[in-house]
Amino acid sequence: MGGKKKSVFFCTGCGHESPKWLGKCPGCGEWNTLVEQVLQTSRPLGRSKTAAREVPVALPDITADASERIPTGISEFDRTLGGGIVPGAVVLVGGDPGIGKSTLLLQASDAIARSGETVLYVTGEESRSQIRLRASRLGVDSGLISILTETDVSHVLEVSASSPPSVLVVDSIQTIYHADANGSPGSVSQVREAAASLVRFAKETGVPVFLIGHVTKQGAIAGPRILEHMVDTVLYFEGDKRMPYRILRAVKNRYGSTDEIGVFEMTAGGLAEVADPSGLFVSKDLPNTSGSVVIGVVEGTRALMVEIQALTGLTNYSVPQRSSTGVDRRRLPLILAVLERRGGLSLGNRDIFVSVAGGVKVEEPAADLGVALAVASSYWDVPVDDRTAVFGEIGLGGELRRVTQAGKRAQEASRLGYSRIVLPRHALPKEERPKGVEFVEVRTLGEAIDTLLGSRQSRHAAKAPAQTKEA
């Protein structure tokens, strides 16, 4: 490479690398996220001195130590990890600032310490006394947890190497810097270098490492996405900050499935596990209100019943508003177009709001039918019977498509007392249907609307498509 300084540009959102500055990142499509980084040319490359030289080993001679996992002691956390912490694994826990990442890891540290293992909790975010205050609020008081307030990664590694803990937590990776790397703490190169040293440490010593990363929308602080390819497991902690529920979701996992989720509730005493979350995302306050439909969604090995709410009304603007939270933004226009074309709704002059109760995100296509019916129900102001659950993907022709794991969705609906399920034809064989539930197979969105909201004539008799602005 020679001694010449070379610079490249990195996207702080997704880590995309470009030789020149661009306004829009080709990686993630965000604007103004590329920042310049001078590349270090003098950094010694190659293997670290401490690592022993590896020799090839015949495959059958390698023992897989699957049993060695350390449970975090928080079963929702363990579930998301794929059954506990794997030795030497590096787990990235990302999420918006204030969502509860430090709380989660401090509570996990406590549970790990209870099983007799040691935890080194490194923080560059808070002072020792701030941690102490949070710990006492959470009832965490174990001598097996040590707190290190430090931001220099080489000191962190020195401390960790001299008396290796069972688990190392770094809160947050954006505050840690590497003395030999360029840029200020939080920059792409610093975050990458610091993380790389910690990954090397984990692989060499077998100590599992948790890296906390704040999701940043813009600015000079690099987001956790730039580390996703370097670590073994990526978990995101999500939720609406105004709501108590939090979801821990695996988006990458070398040691387990990626569609598992863990569900928590933020309480005054910290995060509480929600072992049976299914009923949480259905609001029972207003039975038989139009615009509300319950759907069956599947997250990993778990089915959840979730309520989709929609509100439509004549617009006061020249361009009607379309707003959605919790549902797939790209599918909403498609669903609305099919509703207009095949469902007989005229939505051109209507504001449409769609949201998911409880702040959960539902992005699978199986939610299509629920979204469409919620909008139609609000449009005609005809409620959907609240003992009915639906699921199905909508095609552009208005046809309903089968979805995965229909049996699981139906079982969950039955368990929670739903007595009727509207689903695509052939979605679920007769012998897999739970007893005592009426199954209504529909071929098209039009049929689903007729089944749930009455025939076209009766809808119009009940209410001519609202001339007034409807609440």
Q: Applying CB under 6 A, which residues contact ligand TYD? A: 95, 97-103, 134, 137-138, 266, 268-270
Rule CB under 5 A: is residue 451 a binding residue for Mg ion? no
Name the one range near Mg ion by CB under 5 A: 40-48, 49-57, 94-102, 147-155: 94-102
Rule CB under 5 A: is residue 216 a binding residue for Mg ion? no
Angle of CA points 444, 448, 450, to nearest 5°: 115
Sign of CA dihedral 315, 318, 320, 323: negative
* Closest distance to ligand TYD from the beta carbon of 83 (Å): 24
Q: How many CB atoms lie within 10 A of CB 354?
A: 26
Residue owning tokens 């679920």: 428
* Closest distance to Mg ion from the beta carbon of 339 (Å): 43
Which entry of ligand TYD, Mg ion, none binds 266, CB below 5 to 8 A by partner kind?
ligand TYD
Tokens (6 digits) for 59? 């495959």
Rule CB under 5 A: is residue 197 a binding residue for Mg ion? no
* Closest distance to ligand TYD from the beta carbon of 138 (Å): 6
Give the residue with the Cβ less far from ligand TYD, 267 or 457. Answer: 267
Give the residue with the Cβ less far from Mg ion, 102 or 388. Answer: 102
Name the one range near Mg ion by CB under 5 A: 35-43, 95-103, 179-187, 391-399: 95-103
Give the residue with the Cβ less far from ligand TYD, 95 or 398. Answer: 95
* Closest distance to ligand TYD from the beta carbon of 339 (Å): 38
* H or E stretch covering 110: helix 101-114
φ, ψ at 429 (rounded to 5°): -60, 150
Rule CB under 5 A: is residue 123 a binding residue for Mg ion? no
DSSP string, 69-89: PBP-S-HHHHHHHTSSBPTT-
Which ranges in 305-430 belong to alpha helices (H)? Answer: 331-343, 368-380, 406-415
Number of residues that bind Mg ion (CB under 5 A): 1
**Contact set for Mg ion, span 262-321 (CB under 5 A):** none
Upstream peptide bond of 172 is cis (omega within 30 degrees of 0)? yes
Which entry of ligand TYD, Mg ion, none binds 97, CB below 5 to 8 A by partner kind?
ligand TYD
Decide: 210 and 170 in contact? Cβ < 8 Å: yes
12, 102, 378, 451: which one binds Mg ion (CB under 5 A): 102
Give the residue with the Cβ less far from ligand TYD, 270 or 343. Answer: 270
Which segments of 12-164 are extended strands (E)? 17-18, 34-39, 90-95, 119-123, 145-149
Give the residue with the Cβ less far from Mg ion, 131 or 373. Answer: 131
Residue, CB closest to Mg ion: 102
Tokens (6 digits) for 128? 């020792």
Sheet holding 119-123, edge to edge: 145-149, 119-123, 167-171, 209-214, 90-95, 233-238, 245-253, 261-267, 270-273
**Which residues of the chain form contacts with Mg ion (CB under 5 A)?**
102
